[in-house]
Amino acid sequence: MAGASSLYAGTAPAAAPQEGSVISLHVENDMFVGDDDNYTSGVRIGWMSGTTAESRTFSGMLGTVLGGTNASDSWRRFMGMNGSSNLRQQWGLDLTQLMFTPERKLREPIYGEHPYVGNLTLGLISLVKNEDRANVLELQLGTTGSPSLAKGSQHLVHKMWGMEQWPGWNNQLPSEMTANLFFKRYYRLRGLERHYGSGLETDALAYWHADAGTVKVQAGGGMTFRFGYNLGNTSPENSIRGATSAAPPFVYNRTSVSNWGYYGYLHASARAVAHDLYLDGTVFHSSPDYVNKYPVVAEWGYGFGVTYKRTEFLFGLHYITKEYTRQESLQCVGVLQLRHTF
């Protein structure tokens, strides 16, 4: 196995600066657009370590499977991480709660509508990246049912905002331990990068993902395009319903032209779904067949972001096509993200 020394021997020190650790708060909620059903809430608190090129670190050990500095030359090449002296790796943790409800507020089970589901997970993330590619692997362990705290969380939020309560949480999917692996590979699309002077620019990324476990068995891909001023090392593609990290997905070998930055973004993706616990029911416990899901789901969205020094705020609207046959219409979810790099 070749270590970091074989990768960097005889080369100049990496020109790109190391990045600090990152904390983030990510909220997805249909209440932002006046709705309150199906996928109704997602909250994630995340932390990522600072970047390192060292192999004898926790980031280096976790990053081995993703082509990090501790991997062999052949495996690094297979994972698309060869040919760059700016190879970086990070690791992180996140706590995520997802919540789903039917379209009508009834106490008894509603067949043909989304079941009540809560899922609370703890995730361990590994990120390996260079200037043009990134690999992200996340293991999420969690629970459905009452231990997910979804019923209490929704009750508290609705009480604070004076909203009507959902009475059917006693019919939520049963309590069950969940485990899922989420993998995502990013590509920086340099052909769409343009610099127009005075800090105005565009950039884009594409990705594909494959997920397997008791929660999701699916695969898909997508693309995000940004346009604005002083884009810097940020990314709005950061859905909490799959592999994600609080840290940006690429190494940027340049400095910002200003403390301030702003951008608009467009995003589109699609995925083929073989298993979805939130619609199909739990794996190891018997649960009713509430709905028939569609095998392909698409998503698109738009929004804006603002950065100041090392802090970024983002808000967007994302539209999700129907996920099951009797769903009334596609769904719109508001996305809010706050991220700070130390």
What CATH number is attached to the domain comprising 166? 2.40.128.140
pLDDT in tens, 70-88: 999 999 999 999 888 899 9
pLDDT at 257: 63
- Show the domain range for 115: 4-9+18-341
The mean pLDDT of 155-170, rounded to a whole number, is 87
- For residue 23, pLDDT over 90 is answered with yes
What is the pLDDT, as a whole number, of residue 239? 78
What is the pLDDT, as a whole number, of residue 137? 96
Average pLDDT (314-335) is 95
Residue 9, pLDDT score: 41
Three-state helix/strand/coil letters over the chain = CCCHHHHHCCCCCCCCCCCCCEEEEEEEEHHHHCCCCEEEEEEEEEEECCCECCCCCHHHHHHHHHCCCCCCHHHHHHCCCCCCCCCEEEEEEEEEEEEEECCCCCCCCCCCCCCCEEEEEEEEEEEEECCCEEEEEEEEEEEECHHHCHHHHHHHHHHHCCCCCCCCHHHCCCCCEEEEEEEEEEEECHHHCEECCCCEEEEEEEEEEEEEECCEEEEEEEEEEEEEECCCCCCCCCCCCCCCCCCCCCCCCCCCCCCEEEEEEEEEEEEEEEEEHHHHCCCCCCCCCCCCECCEEEEEEEEEEEEECCEEEEEEEEEECCCECCCCCCEEEEEEEEEEEC
**pLDDT score of 45 more than 50:** yes
Share of the chain above pLDDT 90, in %: 74
| pLDDT greater than 50 at residue 287 | yes
Rounded to an integer, the average pLDDT of 246-266 is 84
- The pLDDT of residue 11 is 43
% of the chain residues with pLDDT over 70: 94
Number of domains, the chain = 1
* Residue 329, pLDDT score: 94
Higher local confidence (pLDDT), 293 or 243:
293
